[in-house]
Structure formats: C-alpha cells, structure tokens
Amino acid sequence: MFTGAMTALVTPFRAGEVDTRALAALVEAQIAAGIHGLVPCGSTGEAATLTHEEHVAVVREVVRAARGRVPVIAGAGSNSTAEAIRLTRGAEEAGANGALLISPYYNKPTQEGIYRHYAAVAEATRLPLIVYNIPGRTASNITPETMGRLSRVRNIVGVKEASGSLAQAIDTIAAAGPDFAVYAGDDILTLPMMAVGGKGVISVTANVAPREFIELADALLAGDLERGRGVMHRVLPLVNTLMGLEVNPIPVKTALALMGKCAEEFRLPLTCMSAPSRAALEKVLREYDLV
C-alpha cells in the first residue's frame, strides 16, 4: 500500500511550542524533493514529549501542508492500548492516510499481549496500520511468528522493522507473505532489507537528504542493485554521522538547524549536542554541501 522512501519527520519547536511554520516548510521541501510519504510524530518527531493535543495538531498540520500530494502516516503508538486507540482515532480525524504504532514499551508484554494490543487498535479504526518494532527502545521484540499473525488482521499492512537484524526481516517477510510490507527502520539496512523483499524505508536521514533516499528506494524497487549500492555507499558517511554521534533525533534536528530549517530546540530529557559531536556533524554536512 505504501512504498518507497518515507521521511520520519522531526518536530520543530520554538520558545517551547511546536513551530508550525517551520513544520510546514519542512513538509514542502520534502514533497518538492519527491518523497514518497511523510511520517510525523514518531520517535524522530519527539512524540514522547508531545501532549495529546500537540500530537494531533502536528498530524493535522502535516496533512494540511501535504494537501494530498503524498500519504501521511501518523505516529500513534503508546504503551497503553487505550491511549494508542485515542491517538490513532485522532490521526484518523486529522486526515492521516495511515498510522505507525510503536510496540508497547516499558510494559514488556508477551507476544500474545503484543498481538492483542495491535488487534484492538485495528478494530477501533479504518486506517491502515504499520507496526513499529524497535526493541532497543521498547525492551521487547515482535517475533516473525507474531508478525505473521498480525499480517492476517485486515488493516495491519506492514511493519517498520528496526530490530537491527536482517535475519529477522527475512523471517518476517516469509511469515507474513508478499502482500505485507516490511520497511527498513534503520537507514543503514535499507539496501539489504529492500534487496530481500522490503518495500521501502522510513528514514531519519531523509530529513536532510531526501533525494538520496528517494533514488535509493526507486533503484531497489526497480531491482537495480548496482545503482542502489552506489547510492548507499555515497550516503553512508552521512547516515553513520546522523545515527551514530548521539541519540536520534539530536543529530538530525541539529543538522536541520545548521541548514536554517528549524530552531535548535529540544524538549528535556533530550539536550543540544555536545561541542565535539557538533563539530563532527558540521564537518560532514560541509562535505555534502548541506551547509
């Protein structure tokens, strides 16, 4: 249903509030570059520090700015099933085309609990749902067997797979079948995951380099592995810098600030980059002619 390169959008802040003007400009720049989809209010969008009202307002603003030109897949997950349902319904009412739901974090539910969580959300909405599996943030892993079960729920259409395991991605593709989309959730694994059958990537780096990830996804969807390898090698130093210096989304939002796209502002407990990390980031951005 959704394919290609989709950007996990940052949420710009200014003076403690969501900066809707900067957000709209980011959306416009992404669409002008040719991005295939936008994903607001995920971990890159600092969703954990947004109020419920801000969360829905950000989704509504992205939908408004996109004007139907690309799908908007709203982050709507929670460790509370009832809260995830509320956020998903809010995204639906705001006009989103789909919802991305992180696996319940901190609770460490069983596989049966994970299945029932997603099934309950699916029952409460008409939106297509994408599961988000990121054990490094949630403390639990969704197994390929559970993903196979979830793939048979009518409106659960895919998974953002960020376990860091290519083997798990392969097993999930096999368990869920060809109509279920597996998306790379780690930028660095875009090439191998799409090479084994993934349908796209939900990318952090695409915030600053959308055209590279569009080219990468287009090449791999067309089966052009040689071209895909070339793009991946070209963008690899930028990916490693944005994902390796400090915890996401600190580097990517700092990069956007250095590019003049938003304020360098975070909500605690996230903080501005350390001086050594910032210097390393600026060096790489200059090498890519981004600043």
Predicted local confidence at residue 7, as pLDDT: 98
User: What is the block-wise mean pLDDT of the chain (291 residues), using blocks of 10 residues?
Assistant: 95 96 97 98 94 94 97 94 95 96 92 96 97 90 96 96 93 92 96 95 97 97 96 96 94 97 96 96 96 90
Domain-wise residue ranges, the chain: 4-222
One of 115, 118, 132, 183 is an active-site residue; which one?
132
105 is catalytic: no
3-state secondary structure the chain: CCCEEEEECCCCEECCEECHHHHHHHHHHHHHHCCCEEECCCCCCCHHHCCHHHHHHHHHHHHHHHCCCCCEEEECCCCCHHHHHHHHHHHHHHCCCEEEEECCCCCCCCHHHHHHHHHHHHHCCCCCEEEEECHHHHCCCCCHHHHHHHCCCCCEEEEEECCCCHHHHHHHHHHHCCCCEEEECCHHHHHHHHHCCCCEEEECHHHCCHHHHHHHHHHHHCCCHHHHHHHHHHHHHHHHHHHHCCCCCHHHHHHHHHCCCCCCCCCCCCCCCCHHHHHHHHHHHHHCCCC
160 included as an active-site residue = yes
> Looking at residue 139, what is its pLDDT?
87
The CATH number that domain 4-222 falls under is 3.20.20.70
pLDDT number for residue 136: 86
pLDDT at 138: 86
From the list 160, 183, 199, 253, the catalytic residue is 160
